[in-house]
Amino acid sequence: MTHSRAKAAVTGAVASLALLLTACGGAETETGNQQQDQSSSMESGSGDERGQQSRDETSGKQGTTTVDDIYGPAASQVPTDPNDEGSAKGMVDDPVATAASNNPLLSDLTKAVKTAGLVDTLNNQDQQYTVFAPANSAFEELPPDTLKALLNDPAKKEQLRSILTYHVVPERMDAQDLGEAGEVPTVNGEKVSISGSGENIEIGDAKVLVGNIPTANATVFVIDKVLMPEQG
C-alpha cells in the first residue's frame, strides 16, 4: 500500500508538472503572438506614416495643391457654393479644360480653347499641367478685334493654338515651385519668366488674380494678361 501511494503521488506530480508546463507554454505562445501582432501593427502603422509622408512629398514636388492653398485678390470672385461646379471645390475633380469652362472668370478662355481644338489635350488626365489662365478682363485688354479675329478666322487657328499653349507648362507646379524655377518651359516650346516668390509671383508681365487652384490634372493660376509668345 505504501508503495502504491508513493507511485500514485509521483504520477500525480508528473501530471501536475505537465499541466503547468502546458499552461506556461500556452501563455508564452499567446504572449509571443500578442507581441508579434503588436510588432506587425507598429510596422504597418510606420509604413502607413512613411507612405503618407512619401505621398505628401511627392504631392509637393508635383505642384499639387488643395482648396486651402488658393490665394489672390480675385479669389472671392470664385463661387463658394460647393455644389457649384465652378466653385473651387467643384473644380477639383474635373480636368482642367472642363474646370475652366465652369469658372465664371474664364468664359473667354474657354471659347478660345474650344476654337483651337485643345479641349481633349488639356483634359487628358494622363498628363499633368500648370495652366496660366487669362481672366475675361485680360482678353478685353487685347487690341480691338484681336480675340474676335483669332476666334473667327480659321487661318489664324495655329496662331491661336500657339498663344494658348504658351500658357501651359507640361508639369504641375505651385506658386512656390514657380518662384524657385524663375523660368518655365511651355507646351508652345518657348519659356515664360517668373519673378517674385511665394504668393507674390508674377508670370511674365502678368499678375496672379487667383493662384494655386487645383483641378484633376492641373494647377491653375488665373492671370490679368494674355501672354504673347514671340511668334504670337
pLDDT number for residue 45: 42
DSSP of the chain, one letter per residue? -HHHHHHHHHHHHHHHHHHHHHHHHHHHHHHHHHHHHHHHHHHHHHHHHHHHHHHHHHHHHTT---GGG-BSTTGGGS---TTSTTSHHHHTTS-HHHHHHT-GGGHHHHHHHHHTT-HHHHT-TTS-EEEEEE-HHHHHTSSTTHHHHHHH-GGGHHHHHHHHHTTEESS---HHHHHHHSEEE-TTSSEEEEES-GGG-EETTEEEEEEEEE-SSEEEEEESS----TT-
Task: Look at residue 79 in the predicted model and tell me its pLDDT.
Answer: 63
Q: What is the pLDDT of residues 114-150, one digit of tens each?
A: 999 999 999 999 999 999 999 999 999 988 778 788 8
Average pLDDT over residues 10-36: 42
Asked whether the predicted pLDDT for residue 88 surpasses 50, the reply is yes
Specify the pLDDT at position 25. 47
- Whether the pLDDT of residue 183 is over 60: the answer is yes
Range 21-28 average pLDDT:
42
